[in-house]
Each structure stands twice: as structure tokens, then as C-alpha cells.
Amino acid sequence: MKIRGKTAVVTGASSGLGRAIALSLARGGADVALVARREDLLRELAQEVEALGRRCLVVPTDVADAARVRSASQAIVNEVGTPDILVNSAGVAVWKPFLEISDAEHEAMMNVNFWGAYHWIRCLLPAMKERGSGRIINISAGTGKIGLPVTSGFSASKFALTGLSEALHREFLGTGLHVSCVHPGNIRTDFWDERTVPKQGLPALVRFSPKMSPRAVARDVVFFCVRLGVPVRTLPVFVALLTKVNALSIRAGDLMLWKWFFPLLLLVVALALL
Ligand SMILES: NC(=O)c1ccc[n+]([C@@H]2O[C@H](COP(=O)([O-])OP(=O)(O)OC[C@H]3O[C@@H](n4cnc5c(N)ncnc54)[C@H](OP(=O)(O)O)[C@@H]3O)[C@@H](O)[C@H]2O)c1
């Protein structure tokens, strides 16, 4: 899909990856509707988008609130018509061992990471389907393919989003509507708050692996998922290999996560493939 002249909705646009994706789309020539709760940050971003010569709507919304999403999506459609691109990047994480995390914390992750994306898709997909074109891009995580300690609620919510994305990709195959799921490893954003990420529990391989810049991930998402419509993007290469090995055998995944030899071997293979 060409981006110039298209309209996009980006959730989680007030910071991190969502913000970078919104800017990347605007640079490519799209008008964007910015969704998150912190209106001041959305307004700052809107000025940057408008400085690029694109139209921008600021739509402060809690994505976990289905009624608010319904009215927000209606307001966007009334203002700019049916969007061509929906990027669900809003997400939250609580890093705690399963027995220490509360029901409310588990529910909050499910409500934003899974239901938040679900509500936007429910609202916008019927008109996209009728038009016979569009892109829906859900930002899951590496942990939406590989379960890790101290991420039970986060992993569960992202696995749910992964399943929804894959099912919708197949349901709309050949219709002109492409549904993609993105599985990033560590990105340098507020999400990796050193005060809240636990010092123990997460495999060192995950905790200390290099963090990608949000701008680089945004460029990748826009190129592969928006322009080309690929259904799954896992990055960096190392996480893609890790999730593939884990899908073949959980035991091999254990070895990779907890023993250094296997990740190093894989790194060598990955470098050889590059
Ligand atoms: N950073 C990583 O290492 C990493 C790795 C894998 C996956 N991810 C995923 O990437 C996505 C973007 O995360 P990030 O790294 O950019 O983190 P971030 O900087 O913390 O951004 C999270 C965004 O989600 C929004 N958000 C949270 N709760 C919301 C709610 N109830 N309603 C509306 N918006 C809400 C936040 O905006 P407001 O607070 O203004 O509402 C913010 O814009 C998330 O889905 C995350 O799970 C990140």
C-alpha cells in the first residue's frame, strides 16, 4: 500500500513506539489520528505532524473503555472518513512473579493489550472490509510468542493478541484487508523502566539484550506491515530465531534462555545469515 494520502489511526501515540510509528507514517505522507490518554503529549506530537504538512487529529481515549473507543472511532470517521491504517500500539506491563501479581494487575494488562486492540478492530474493521482495503497492525511482543518468567499477565495478553491477529489474517486473506502482528524484542522506551523491570527472574539474555531504537522499529513496521502487508514481523533476527526454536521445542527454548552456549551458537548462525 502507498502511504501518501492515506489516513491512519495510531494508538499508544503519546510515547515510544506508537509515537515513532505515527511520525513515520506522517513522514510517508499519511494524515494521522493520535490516540492515548495523555492529551498534552498527543498535542505536542500533533505539532510535529502538522509541521510535516500532514493533517492530524488528537483523540484522547482510554483504549480499555469500549464505549470511549466507539465514540472516538466514530468521531474519526465523521472527520476524515474510514481510516486506511490502524496501528494498535497501546500497551502496559507489570513485571512481577505470578504469585505476587494481583488479579487487578492481570486484568489491566488484558484490558489494554488485548481488549484495547480488539475494541478498535471491532469499530473500524466493518467499514474497511466493505471498502475492500486496509491495514490493521497489532503490536504484540516477543513474549507474545514465547512465555517468560515474571511476565505471565503480559505474555498472556500478548499471546491473545497474537492469536486474534493470526486468525483475522487468515479470515481476510485475499480481501485486500491485511492484518499483521509485530513481535519486537527490547525497545528503548518508557516501557523498560529500570525501576520496575525486576532484577531477578527474567533471563539475563532477555534483560541485557541490546535495545532497539523506536524509530528503527517504526521504520521496519511501516515498510513491512503497512507497505508490504506481511502478516508477521519479529525483530531483531535474534528474537525471531529464539521464537522459532521455542515453537519447535519448549525444551530447546529453555536451553536457549538459560544456558549461554545455545544463544551464542544461534547468534553465530544469525550473523552468518545476515
Ligand atoms: N519497549 C519494549 O521493549 C517492548 C517490547 C515488546 C513489545 N512492546 C510493545 O510495544 C507497544 C508500545 O510500547 P512502548 O515500548 O512504546 O511503551 P510506552 O512508551 O510505555 O508506550 C505505551 C503507550 O501505550 C499507551 N497506553 C497505555 N495504556 C493506555 C490506555 N489505557 N489507553 C490508551 N493508551 C494507553 C500510553 O499512552 P498514555 O499513557 O498516554 O495513555 C503510551 O503511549 C506496547 O504494546 C508494548 O507492549 C514494547
CA of 78 to the centre of ligand 1 (A): 27
Strands (E), the chain: 7-11, 31-36, 56-60, 85-88, 134-139, 177-184, 232-235
> What pLDDT is stored for residue 170 in this prediction?
98
* 162 pocket-lining for ligand 1 (C-beta < 6 Å): no
With a pLDDT cut of 90, the percent of the chain lying above it is 82
Is 184 within 8 Å of 139 (Cβ atoms)?
yes
With a pLDDT cut of 70, the percent of the chain lying above it is 96
Within a domain: 2:
no
* 91 pocket-lining for ligand 1 (C-beta < 6 Å): yes
Is 135 within 8 Å of 229 (Cβ atoms)?
yes
DSSP per-residue string spanning 157-170: HHHHHHHHHHHHHH
- For 35-78, the pLDDT digits (tens) are 999 999 999 999 999 999 999 999 999 999 999 999 999 999 99
| Residue with CA nearest ligand 1 atom 34 | 36
**Locus of grid cell 494487575:** 105
Same domain, 146 and 264: no
Same domain, 137 and 272: no
CA of 61 to the centre of ligand 1 (A): 13
Within a domain: 1:
no
The residues that bridge with 234 in the sheet, in sequence order, are: 183
CA of 2 to the centre of ligand 1 (A): 26
Same domain, 244 and 188: no
Longest dimension (CA), the chain: 56
Within a domain: 267:
yes
Question: Which residues fall within 8 angstroms of residue 142, CB to CB, at 6 or more apart?
Answer: 183, 184, 185, 234, 239, 242, 243
Residue 16 and residue 52: Cα distance in Å, rounded? 19
Same domain, 223 and 241: no
Question: E strand or H helix at 251, and its extent?
Answer: helix 250-258
Within a domain: 221:
yes
Residue 151 and residue 13: Cα distance in Å, rounded? 23
- For 108-159, the pLDDT digits (tens) are 999 999 999 999 999 999 999 999 999 999 999 999 999 999 999 999 999 9
> What pLDDT is stored for residue 15 in this prediction?
98
Is 11 within 8 Å of 63 (Cβ atoms)?
yes
CA of 89 to the centre of ligand 1 (A): 6
Work out how many domains the chain is built from and give that number. Answer: 2
First-to-final CA distance of the chain? 27
Is 3 within 8 Å of 25 (Cβ atoms)?
yes
Same domain, 69 and 80: yes
What residue numbers bound the domain in which 242 lies? 237-274
Same domain, 149 and 48: yes
Same domain, 263 and 181: no
Within a domain: 189:
yes
In angstroms, what is the C-alpha Rg of the chain? 18
* 212 pocket-lining for ligand 1 (C-beta < 6 Å): no
* 155 pocket-lining for ligand 1 (C-beta < 6 Å): no
Same domain, 109 and 36: yes
CA of 42 to the centre of ligand 1 (A): 13
> What pLDDT is stored for residue 259 in this prediction?
77
CA of 170 to the centre of ligand 1 (A): 26
Same domain, 102 and 75: yes
Same domain, 38 and 89: yes
Helix 117-131 to helix 66-80 angle (10° resolution) is 30
CATH of the domain at 59: 3.40.50.720
Same domain, 210 and 263: no
Q: What is the pTM of this model?
A: 0.95
Helix and strand element counts for the chain (H, E):
11, 7
- For 175-202, the pLDDT digits (tens) are 999 999 999 999 999 887 777 777 778 8
Same domain, 230 and 254: no
* 89 pocket-lining for ligand 1 (C-beta < 6 Å): yes
